[in-house]
A and B are shown apart, each in its own frame.
Chain A
């Protein structure tokens, strides 16, 4: 199957990449064919290990030993990429095929100015520019990616994550390549920044008219951005076609699983509060948790403005606290857990001030309030095996009186989140995947059986397919164990899926609150509207920016009032004062 040598765009036929390891040959990419015309955006989707990044590396001539391209043709405007020598490929990297890396924060040189890093490409490709010309090119490139010219004189640490990613785009397009490869360019960014970066990327691609490959596992982002899609699994293409066709009618079951793993408005399983087993109220008739004019300042920076609410606990509910990084949501979580002390006001747990508890009250508080944190990699003490996170609470809270009893608890904790105990408790944390670790953290919380759980971005670092599993666990905790959950997230879509009540936090203040149907289906505050508009819905027909352009929306957020929250409805068990 030979691709026509003369036709424009990228033509790949029968590409195979194999890795020679001690355990045998791994077919990372196993005979794939596809073609991209100039100006078209192609999405590569699949789990980690499916071969999507290896495909991109092959097109960049960057497969390293023990890997090897064993067969195939890849022609870009007639140029046979796979037959180029290493030295010849250097002439084409950046100039013909260009790459936008995953972690912009790690791929920029920390000691060089942005302009120097942009100009490096011109220098390496035999076109050193005169000083004035160079300045002009840098300014126009920065303008293309929506950055002010002053950024050229800055160092990477002076830029935000989104700005760094856009600087990476400027570097990648400097030589007007024919093919752009973007490898999960927004994976560490919040939805608004993600939307900004992706809109920038789309615009510059239109400007230079190159073909574009977007690698990712977020089906929502794919639906918003690409024209065609390739779904990969175990090195093979399982589905390939127009993005609308695939979303409307996925033919492969794997594609269907991927699409369904994205939270979506249509598929919301309304948590049935009526079926819960009754709540875990504080025994003394006091509300489980209450904030009384609580604020927190770090020096001059106000992380959280005065906030008051009560969570009764007798009617378990999931309260989502939604906001971007810097909105104060994690500070709020730390205040609840007693890891931070409020600057003003009081955080009380069943009547006791969280920071002024006696010994007995602290013990009870620790047992009854648990948390799952964002980073499953940092949550385990590397010195101990996995079982340590389970044995510590068992011992400290006196939950087991013998080795057998402790073991029973641990086995149930593993099984409650679908982990095999025999494959789990003898291992070290670094021998498990991030998803497995995070599930065990949830299992640990289930084992301790708290009354209140603080879940701080529990799914932002795990694969999409695991998200719904973990969110399902949280919901089970509410409905079957009667645990109230504070769900802290930047992701409105997941909040919509599991929350009973949503607080939208912006710059330390609650700007809008209500049940998900009100807040998300009919957002009133401009900031909520911006957040909702920036959700990458897994639906090619529902586009970003339905509520106007990003700049207009940001402008109206800046002008909006943040002092008085818009509260439209209340639920039983939670009251915002």
Chain B
């Protein structure tokens, strides 16, 4: 219930210092780094989506990056091991019919697939953020040019372009080139998303408050607008990364991926090609599929968690 807020005689005194004791007791840790760390931890506790998603991705990263320290890359190559072994102590995830260790595939394949997603996603979001920001902030002819090109390109189905390009390069392709091909079209959605956000934000009243506070043009862009864009940029990045990985796995499952690298998608392709399930080699199928499931669920949860972070009004209150 609101009480009438009565302050009869406010005194804007200028010289006197507030009592040090009061200040220390009430707001002693204002602006210190321990306060900031505590705020972050408290926030993660209130946002289980983000926390669980980050944990899943961190676990996968730990397996993949940690595994690279113990297991050499050649274990993921054909003919490196005895083929068709079920899981055992020596080969915890078994081997496929060409002698790849599935543990090696898990370690190196996850890394390669995630690398495609990160490279394509980063390029896509970087281009999209710059274009979207320019279109939304400067309006005018800049906006017309950028928006028209983006809108036209958005009508092109990406798989069409990707299949055509990849099919022409198929045998010589490596994962980096794959990522670049996917990045060709990955900037379209981020451009649209960032532009619409900037359009809303450039009219916000707090930009006026900042200008009154003596903030320069660059300060307004980088200190007032950008922080509010970060959650959208991150959400855009997560989305672009997931889309890029989905596209790469799709291309690979069609056999259009890098033939000589053990990405998760190529493993799925080989498992289908050699009829792994008919041979009863469930571990061959299960390993890449589970890795993909953890990867995508983790990304989904992070993206859902960022949604909440993007809107402070939805941020859960401290208990």
Contact surface of A with B, Cβ cutoff 8 Å:
47-50, 234, 254, 257, 261, 337, 339, 363, 366-367, 369-371, 373, 375, 377-384, 387, 389, 392-393, 396-397, 403, 406-408, 411-412, 415-418, 421-422, 425-426, 428, 430, 433, 435-436, 439, 441, 446, 449, 463, 465-466, 469, 472-473, 476-477, 480-481
B206 touches A417 (CB 8 A): no
A407 touches B6 (CB 8 A): no
A-B contacts, 16 listed (Cβ < 8 Å): A373-B208, A378-B206, A381-B206, A387-B30, A389-B209, A392-B214, A393-B212, A407-B23, A407-B27, A416-B11, A416-B12, A418-B7, A421-B27, A472-B10, A476-B11, A477-B12
Q: With A408-B23, A425-B27 as given contacts, are A378 and B204 in contact (CB-CB < 8 Å)? A: yes
CA distance A339 to B30 in the complex (A): 33
Interface string of B180-223 (1 = CB under 8 A from A): 00000000000000000000000011101111111100010000
A421 touches B26 (CB 8 A): yes
A-B complex: 10 closest residue pairs judged by Cβ atoms: A378-B205, A418-B7, A422-B26, A396-B214, A392-B213, A393-B213, A381-B206, A465-B4, A383-B227, A416-B12
Q: With A367-B214, A418-B5, A421-B26 as given contacts, are A412 and B13 in contact (CB-CB < 8 Å)? A: yes
Whether B1 sits at the interface, judged by CB under 8 Å, is yes
- Cβ-Cβ contact count across A and B, 8 Å cutoff: 139
Residues of A within 8 A of B9 (CB): 472, 476
Q: With A363-B214, A380-B206, A392-B210 as given contacts, are A469 and B30 in contact (CB-CB < 8 Å)? A: no
Q: Which residue of A lies closest to B231 (CB)?
A: A383
Residues of A within 8 A of B30 (CB): 387, 403, 407, 425-426
Q: Which residue of B lies closest to A383 (CB)?
A: B227
CA distance A382 to B208 in the complex (A): 14
Q: With A373-B208, A418-B7, A469-B6 as given contacts, are A396 and B215 in contact (CB-CB < 8 Å)? A: yes
B17 touches A408 (CB 8 A): yes
**A215: shortest Cβ distance to chain B, in Å?**
16
**B6: shortest Cβ distance to chain A, in Å?**
7
Within 8 Å by CB of A416, from B10, B27, B213, lies B10
A379 touches B12 (CB 8 A): no
A396 touches B213 (CB 8 A): yes
Q: With A408-B18, A473-B10 as given contacts, are A435 and B312 in contact (CB-CB < 8 Å)? A: no
Within 8 Å by CB of A373, from B5, B8, B31, B205, lies B205
Q: Which residue of A lies closest to B224 (CB)?
A: A381
Residues of A within 8 A of B315 (CB): 428
Residues of B within 8 A of A481 (CB): 12
A397 touches B214 (CB 8 A): yes
Within 8 Å by CB of B1, from A234, A407, A426, A466, lies A234
Whether B228 sits at the interface, judged by CB under 8 Å, is yes
A371 touches B27 (CB 8 A): no
Residues of B within 8 A of A47 (CB): 2, 4
A428 touches B312 (CB 8 A): yes
**B189: shortest Cβ distance to chain A, in Å?**
23
Q: Given contact pairs A377-B205, A392-B213, enumerate 10 new A-B contacts (beta carbons under 8 Å).
A: A366-B213, A373-B209, A389-B213, A393-B212, A396-B215, A412-B12, A430-B312, A446-B12, A465-B4, A473-B10
